[in-house]
Every structure is written in C-alpha cells, then in structure tokens.
Structure 1
Amino acid sequence: MPGLNDLLNQLERVRKQIPFATAQALTSVARQIKDAQTTAIKRTFDNPTPFTANSVRSQGARKDTLKARVFIMDTSAEYLEPFEIGGQHKLNGHALLNPKNIRLNKYGNLGNRKMSQRKNNNTFVGEVGGVEGLWRRKKTRKGKKAKKRAKRSPNGTRAARQKQPAPKLLIRFGDALPVRQHLGYFDRANTMAAALMPSAMARALDQALRTAK
C-alpha cells in the first residue's frame, strides 16, 4: 500500500530525528537557565564581582548522550553554596574574608591587590592574643631582627635571648557571618526546565523534520 509505505517512511524519519531534536531542545533550555541564573546572582547580591556574576556556565547536549549541564565554576561554588543551602559565609580558600577597620573595594570585598600589597615575607595570617588577622613582624631596633641567644660563657651561664617585639596587626578578620540572601538556584533550574522543555522540544523536532533529507 503506497499510503502505508509513505506513513512508515515518515515515522522512520521522525524516529531518526528525535535524538538530534532532543539534544537541540536540551541545549536551548540549558542556555536559558544559565542566563536566568546569572541574572539572579546579579539581583541577589549587592554589586557582585564580575568573577562571581559570570561564574555560571552551561554545556550543550549531544544526540548520543542527551545530557545538558548548567553549573557554577568550582571556586565560586565554594562560597556561593551557603546562599543556596544556608549557613555561614565561607572564609577559607579563595572565598571572601571578613576584614575589619579597613576600606573595601567597590564590591564590598578586601580585594586581592590590597591583600597582596600587605602580604610579604615579614607578614603572616594567624591568631595572636585571640585576634585573627594579617600581622607584620616588628624589627627589634635599627632595622635589625632579634638576635639568637648568645653562647654559654666559661662559667656555664648564657645571656637571655632578646625578646621579639609583638607583631603589628594590619588587618583584623571577624568571624564568619550567617548568610542573609537565598539564591534559589535549584528551584529556579527545576521550574524552568519543566516549563520550557515541552515547547523547546516541539520547536526542535519541527525544525529537524523540515530540514531533514
């Protein structure tokens, strides 16, 4: 039957185009979600750094895998995680410190340049007297470091070692503060995927059938 054969051929064309159309739809939806997540970061945080604002990435699907990804770069994900699941600001690694009594940059952060300007071989980050911060070791006098303890005298005594002056506090770090904003990353992604995928699939399949040979 000519009519039946035409129908079977058309169905076969549809079957072959489904993986390609699905990959196209997944990629389109992933890009839309990525753009929405980037906008959400810019709206959630007050003047976020470009590094944070542009940390969302998307990866398109292929017809042999049918999997698209929307993700946040690892470094940013570390300090953005509390804004999704709750908790305190991350202060370790590349995350933001909580500096006190120092001018911050336009993004409300300490800034790598300001930190590097103060960090050298004579400074250290740590706790002194119960205060956490960036400290500078002081010289003893006339630019000389503290001398080592002198050798023993013939009678067996040895002069006391000159005390090292207390270090100078350059930047004091406060405790991590609880986060106040909620990013809503996963809820937004799931809601958008469910809402956008049917129409994206219909458009991709229509386009695939019209251009198929």
Structure 2
Amino acid sequence: MFTLSVRSDIRSVSRALSDLARKQLPFATAQAINATAARVKEAEQENMRKVLDAPTPFTVNSVAVKKATRANPVALVYVKPVAAAYLLPYEIGGTNKLNSHALLKPISAKVNQYGNLPRNLVKRLTGKPNVFVGKIQTKAGLVDGVWQRTKKTRGKRAGLKLMVKFEDAHVVKQRLDYRGVGKRVLAATFRAELDRAVAKALASAR
C-alpha cells in the first residue's frame, strides 16, 4: 500500500474561496477524491491488460475502491487480497507465485480464452485410464507432467503425448508499476476534479 496526498491542492484552492465556498469544500473534496480514485482504478485495470498476458476478468476486476467521505476524505484504491498475492512479484520483482506445487504449463491440453487451464482439468485428465502423472526421459531431458498414452494409428506409432508440463516458479520480468500509474493519474486529474466539484457544490448551495 502507498499514500498519495492532495493536501497542498486543497489548501491552494481554499485560500481563493469565499466563506460560502469554503463551507462546501469538505463535501467537494470527497467528491473530487472519489472521482480521481475511479480514474486511478480504470488506469490500473487498463495497465494490467497491457502488461499482463491476457489477464482474466478476476484479475482485472480485483482492483477496487473504498470511497472517501466528508468526514474521512481518504479514498483507497487497492487490489483484493487473493489477486494481490500473485500480482505482487509483478510490482516488486521476484518469482511468480505458484497456486500448487508446480507451475502448470499447458502443452496439448485445451485452454480457455485467457490461455489458462480450466479449473480442475488436471484432476479430470488423470481420472482417465490412458492418462497418468509422471517423469519421462525425453530428448530434451527429464520432463515432469501429465501424459496421455496414444493409440497406434495408420502411419503413427503408439506413444506418449504431453498434456500439461510441470515447471518451477520463474523470475517475473513484467512490471505493473502500480504506484507510478496512480501518481500520474492523480497529478493529471485531481485539481480539475476538485475545481469541478467545488463549482457543482456552490451551484447547489445557492
């Protein structure tokens, strides 16, 4: 979590306001903060789509906002805990987080539209009599994964087909720069949102 302050903008606006407008400032400030937080959320989601390889809706929609109020003019743009756990290396570096004992890399198994294995696919595959989990010596070395025994067909011998390969965690190269995105949106957005919110609050107060 990181903090971005807009106190200097609020003080600057406050000095130029009349007494009536200054009374409306707390409400307008909360409105401006929330509008800016919504912009930050959208920017973070769009950045995820650019940086990550076909992120799922679950990942993109993990960015959420806790709104500010007049009494507590602080908005929180955050990533929900489950997604934050596996997205953290894309912010600070390190190896990708594994949800199991190994990274499951689809080889000939069908994947969904996001390039991921459907939930419980490995369990369903290994429930078939011609599929097993194990390590097989290949030309490329020892390969651990889910294998399917194939039948002999015309012009093709019976053998083994790798469905899913088990790999170790690897170093993450992409960077989301969550903090940088938030700072840039705040700098470009908040003051205009505050001016707009003050004008709207004054119009309604007259």
State the shift of 1:108 in Å: 2.5
Q: Give the number of the structure whose alpha-carbon radius of gyration is greater.
A: 1
State the shift of 1:107 in Å: 1.9
State the shift of 1:96 in Å: 8.6
Instruction: Give the secondary-structure state (helix, strand or coil) at the position aligned to 1:112.
Output: coil
The residue correspondences of 1:193-208 to structure 2 (distance < 5 A) are 193-208=186-201
State the shift of 1:127 in Å: 9.8
Residue 66 of structure 2 is matched in structure 1 by 59
Instruction: Give the secondary-structure state (helix, strand or coil) at the position aligned to 1:98.
Output: strand
Residue 180 of structure 1 is matched in structure 2 by 173
Preserved CA contact (<8 Å) 1:98 1:176:
no
Residues 83-107 of structure 1 show CA distances to partners (whole Å, capped at 9, x for unaligned) of 11111111036x9933364525132
Q: Tell me if 1:90 matches 2:83.
A: no
- Distance in 1, matches of 2:81 and 2:102, equals 15
Going from structure 1 to structure 2, the CA distance change for 1:116 and 1:27 (only over 3 Å counts) comes to farther
Q: Tell me if 1:190 matches 2:197.
A: no
Going from structure 1 to structure 2, the CA distance change for 1:127 and 1:63 (only over 3 Å counts) comes to farther
Residues 131-188 of structure 1 show CA distances to partners (whole Å, capped at 9, x for unaligned) of 87679xxxxxxxxxxxxxxxxxxxxxxxxxxxxxxxxx98542110111211111111
Residue 39 of structure 2 is matched in structure 1 by 32
2:19 partner letter: E
Following superposition, which runs of at least 4 residues in structure 1 exceed 6 angstroms of deviation? 130-135
Residue 10 of structure 2 is matched in structure 1 by none
- Distance in 2, matches of 1:133 and 1:191, equals 44
The residue correspondences of 1:1-213 to structure 2 (distance < 5 A) are 11-92=18-99, 97-99=103-105, 101-105=107-111, 106-118=113-125, 172-213=165-206
1:91 partner letter: L
Corresponding residue pairs, total: 165
Going from structure 1 to structure 2, the CA distance change for 1:57 and 1:175 (only over 3 Å counts) comes to same
Of Structure 1 and Structure 2, which has the larger fraction of its residues in strand? 2
- Distance in 1, matches of 2:47 and 2:117, equals 23
Show structure 2 runs of 5+ residues with no match.
1-16, 128-132, 136-141, 148-161
- Distance in 2, matches of 1:11 and 1:38, equals 39
1:98 partner letter: L
Q: Normalising by the residue count of structure 2, what TM-score does the alignment of the two structures yield? A: 0.68
State the shift of 1:53 in Å: 2.0
Q: Normalising by the residue count of structure 1, what TM-score does the alignment of the two structures yield? A: 0.66
Q: Percent identity?
A: 36
- Distance in 1, matches of 2:94 and 2:108, equals 25
Instruction: Give the secondary-structure state (helix, strand or coil) at the position aligned to 2:18.
Output: helix
